Amino acid sequence: MSAVTEQPLTFKGYFRNIKEAIVSTVKGMAITIKYVYGVKPVTVEYPEVKEVLPENSRSRLYNDVENCISCMQCATACPVDCIYIAAVKRDKDAPKLKTTSGNPIRLDLTQYTIDTALCCYCGLCTTVCPTECLTHTTDYEFSQFTLDEMKYDYLAEDVRAWRTRIVK
């Protein structure tokens, strides 16, 4: 290893160091003053103030089950297998049902659950849904205390009631 030899500080170098110290201090203080007095705060006092996410945000999923035809395409497309669907064939004498987009409903949906603790919000399930009943919403207020509570059953009354809060 070669030893580092310190050069003696010249008279000129001494004043150059002082000048550099003053310049960098002034620059640093200018940035500090700009942020203290010149920039609007970017923090939001949540939950009193709530940010509105863009319309195309991929946040909480919602299935408008009345328009679900139980085709399983969403569950098949899901890369993490977090959509659980069960359905039974409709009775042949039961009244004919159609979705709002005109698709015949041949199965009665008996379970439509998404485990949002596993969901990676990739959006594939909404992309393949033929009736567009499965959509991402802009809602981000659905934290829970346990992982099990992150499983949302879209046939359950409380989840269906939540729709009225988020669907326009």
Q: Which of 60, 62, 73, 137 binds ligand SF4 (CB under 6 A)?
A: 73
Cβ closer to ligand SF4: 24 or 76?
A: 76
The residue range among 39-47, 69-77, 138-146, 160-168 that interacts with ligand SF4, by the rule CB under 6 A, is: 69-77
What residues does 139 pair with on adjacent strands? none
* Interacting residue with ligand SF4 among 107, 134, 137, 152 (CB under 6 A): 134
Among 106, 110, 105, smallest CA distance to 133 is for 105
**Is residue 131 close enough to count as binding ligand SF4 by CB under 6 A?**
yes
**Binding of ligand SF4 at residue 147 (CB under 6 A)?**
no
Instruction: Find the length of the chain.
Output: 168
Residue 32, both tokens: 């500090």
159 binds ligand SF4, rule: CB under 6 A: no
Give the residue, chosen from 44, 121, 144, 149, that forms a contact with ligand SF4 under the rule CB under 6 A: 121
Q: For the chain, percent helix, then strand, then coil, each to nearest 5?
A: 30, 15, 50
CB closer to ligand SF4, 33 vs 117:
117
Q: Which residue has the tokens 């829970």?
A: 144
Distance in angstroms (rounded) separating the CA atoms of residues 114 and 89:
22
Residue 106, number of CB atoms within 10 A of its CB: 14
The residues binding ligand SF4 (CB under 6 A) are 63, 68-74, 77-80, 82-83, 85, 114, 119-125, 128-131, 133-134
